[in-house]
Amino acid sequence: MIPTSEQDEQKEQNIMLITDYIRACVAGATVDGREIPDQAIEDMATTYHPDTYSAKIWPEHIRGIAPDGMFKALGDVVQAKAERIKGGALAGKLALYVKIAPHQDLIAMVRNGQKVHLSIEAQPNFANTGKTYLVGVGVTDSPASLGTGIMKFSTAARSENIFSTPQETPINLPSDSDMTREDFQQLLKPLYTRLGDIEDKLEQQYKAIKKDTDEIISLSMPLPSVETRMRINGYSGHREPHNGGDSDRKRNIY
């Protein structure tokens, strides 16, 4: 029997979403006239690993102070790869693709049509290696790179949804003359086991639905003013557009 804490951990792993590869940036000229080198994309694809340095997902590249604040991390980058685009207006250009593990807040944003594009944070000469490393990803509606993918999340692919085809539980009944109380209890054991499994899966389904319900309720509640939220989260003043300059602390943001 697996201990309860391990069962809970396994349930959490089962419902954690990891996306397919999403196009995060494309080599070449950006919207504002900067250049994303092919070599930078190749470096990020070959060097990125969460154990080396885990790239978090941030709203508009802003890092908040409070863990539950307005600008908290919205997920993690799991994998990265480089691949040339095969069709369309950008065919032949090298692109960086990432798999991400979004938190529930980001999923709610994207379902509401907000912050659906990725915007990478590239650190040149990462840790004196001479290579560019992917140190973070922003979610935005105005990326600098051309050809970024659009995130879409759906509940349809939930693995914990148990409402599928019925499963048979065979029970071999002996003749009435041979039936005893002990025989009957023994016959019911597979049914009890099946009911226990269904109860566990229903609890998992309930938790997943409750999360979505809580998100909807929170979105319908009155929000404090932007000024108040910025003050609560330790953020003040105005931020310049993401241009890869000094305001972005020497990271190249595309």
Q: Which residues pair with 118 in a beta bridge?
A: 139
According to the model, what pLDDT value does residue 240 have? 45
Q: Output the six-digit token pair for 45.
A: 């694809």
Please tell me the distance from the alpha carbon of residue 220 to that of residue 211, in angstroms, as a whole number.
14
According to the model, what pLDDT value does residue 178 have? 66
According to the model, what pLDDT value does residue 13 have? 45
According to the model, what pLDDT value does residue 158 have? 44
According to the model, what pLDDT value does residue 232 have? 45
According to the model, what pLDDT value does residue 202 have? 82
According to the model, what pLDDT value does residue 210 have? 76
What residue ranges do the domains of the chain occupy? 15-153+236-253, 160-221
Residue pair 35/91 in contact (Cβ under 8 Å)? The answer is: no
Closest CA to 136 of 27, 207, 54, 26: 54
Q: Output the six-digit token pair for 98.
A: 């990432």
Please tell me the distance from the alpha carbon of residue 106 to that of residue 10, in angstroms, as a whole number.
22
- Residue 61 known to be catalytic: yes
- Mean pLDDT, consecutive 10-residue stretches, the chain (254 aa), reads 49 67 96 95 98 96 82 94 96 97 93 93 96 96 93 58 47 62 76 79 79 66 53 45 50 86
Looking at 61, 103, 117, 242, which residue is catalytic? Answer: 61
Looking at 8, 32, 183, 197, which residue is catalytic? Answer: 32
- pTM for this structure? 0.60
According to the model, what pLDDT value does residue 206 have? 79
Looking at 43, 117, 119, 145, which residue is catalytic? Answer: 119
